[in-house]
Structure 1
Amino acid sequence: MTDRSMADPSDGAVNHASADAALGARIREYRMMRRMSLRALGEAAQASPGFLSQLERGQANASIGMLRRIGAALGLTVADLFDQNNTPGPHVVRRADRPMLHTAPGSRKSLISQRPLGHLEVYEGEFDPGASTGDDAYTHGDSQEILLVLSGAVRIELDDRAHALEAGDSIEYRSSVPHRVVNPHEAPAEVLWIISPPTPD
């Protein structure tokens, strides 16, 4: 009678090979999604195209340091590379499922961009009549930031200079410049913030 409690010594090797293949496949999918060649990824990650080709086919192992460089070149973390829930390709985020951020009274801010998109952040903001991002202007890092008005109209204050924007208007500035958004009108307003690279909010 076979003792089923005894593990097959080959199971560990099979599981390890399967994990290597899955990791390699994810790296390849992320690389293809970003339209990077093996040579381009190799130059960014300080690795040979031949090694990366083997890694993507599950025929080679990479050190943590190498995975960090590969991840950085793809705009990912090492954790992103191993996270099977973060599969490459289109990610649908329903409006009701957007993560909401705490904002000032009368305004709402939700995160649209999702990990592992690491090169930019996109936020949608809604302002009731008279609402704003807060009483004081704020800064966050030193990234490129674009504010696009989707509907209604707002006033953005940059370094004590005010700019009136209507639907379809946009403005570009550095996130290190003190800024504040106000809706001084009697109709609600909706805006979009695009920030690259992401900064602590």
Structure 2
Amino acid sequence: MTAELGARIRELREHGGQSLRSVASAAGISPGFLSQIERGNANATVSTLRGIATALGLTTADLFGDDDLTASRVLRRADRSELPTGGRSKKYLLSRRPLRNLEVYCGELAPGEGTGDPYTHGEAQEMFLVVRGQVEVSLDGTLYRLSDGDSIEYRTDVPHTARNLGTDVAEVLWIISPPHRG
């Protein structure tokens, strides 16, 4: 199990484009010790595994998965993970864990509702796409009105929010790259 777990950690780290040194530092261990774990030459405590998982932006359970990171992954509509929104709107994570090169969400914004107060999250590129509806996007206080098929790109460290201006449910997508790790 040690060699399989180590190989899985290395695969997840490399697939996420993270260096041995950066993951070790974030996990609070030495690069040499992480290298030994990845080669199956050292055992890690549960605490160390939690630290490695957090550094990789994963859960500890993700370290023990057996999914092929290069394989296609199908997500059925009924199997989507719904995120709490606190209202009549809905938001779903479409990207399967462990996250690869991007993070994708779809949402249904109820009439008059939105994503709340302007917020930021990490340092990535985000594309917001209106699949159907009339949505107002605020980027650092500047307002943009988007309709069916319109999109806007921005950095996630810019305060942003979206609100449905229409009388019907608006369908939207958020596409973020690289995915939030942590």
TM norm. shorter chain > 0.5:
yes
In the TM superposition, 1:18-29 aligns within 5 A as 19-29=1-11
- Looking at structure 2, the residues matched to 35 and 143 of structure 1 have their Cα atoms a distance apart, in angstroms, of 15
Unaligned residue ranges in structure 1 (runs of 5+):
1-18
Unaligned residue ranges in structure 2 (runs of 5+):
25-29
Residue 41 of structure 1 is matched in structure 2 by 20
Deviation at 1:35, TM superposition (A): 6.6
Structure 2-normalised TM-score? 0.65
- Looking at structure 2, the residues matched to 73 and 142 of structure 1 have their Cα atoms a distance apart, in angstroms, of 14
The answer (yes or no) to whether the contact 2:112–2:166 under 8 Å persists in 1 is no
Report the count of equivalent residues. 171
Bigger-Rg structure (1/2): 1
- Looking at structure 2, the residues matched to 140 and 95 of structure 1 have their Cα atoms a distance apart, in angstroms, of 28
Residue 80 of structure 1 is matched in structure 2 by 62
1:30 corresponds to 2:12: yes
1:185 corresponds to 2:169: no
1:139 corresponds to 2:119: yes
SS in 2 for 1:122: strand
1:93 corresponds to 2:75: yes
Q: Which runs of 4+ in 1 moved over 6 A?
A: none
SS in 1 for 2:95: coil
- Looking at structure 1, the residues matched to 117 and 58 of structure 2 have their Cα atoms a distance apart, in angstroms, of 31
Residue 108 of structure 2 is matched in structure 1 by 126
The answer (yes or no) to whether the contact 2:127–2:151 under 8 Å persists in 1 is no
The answer (yes or no) to whether the contact 1:111–1:124 under 8 Å persists in 2 is yes
- Looking at structure 2, the residues matched to 43 and 127 of structure 1 have their Cα atoms a distance apart, in angstroms, of 38
Deviation at 1:75, TM superposition (A): 4.0
SS in 2 for 1:25: helix
SS in 2 for 1:96: helix
Structure 1-normalised TM-score? 0.60
Percent sequence identity over matched residues? 38
CA RMSD of aligned residues (A): 3.9
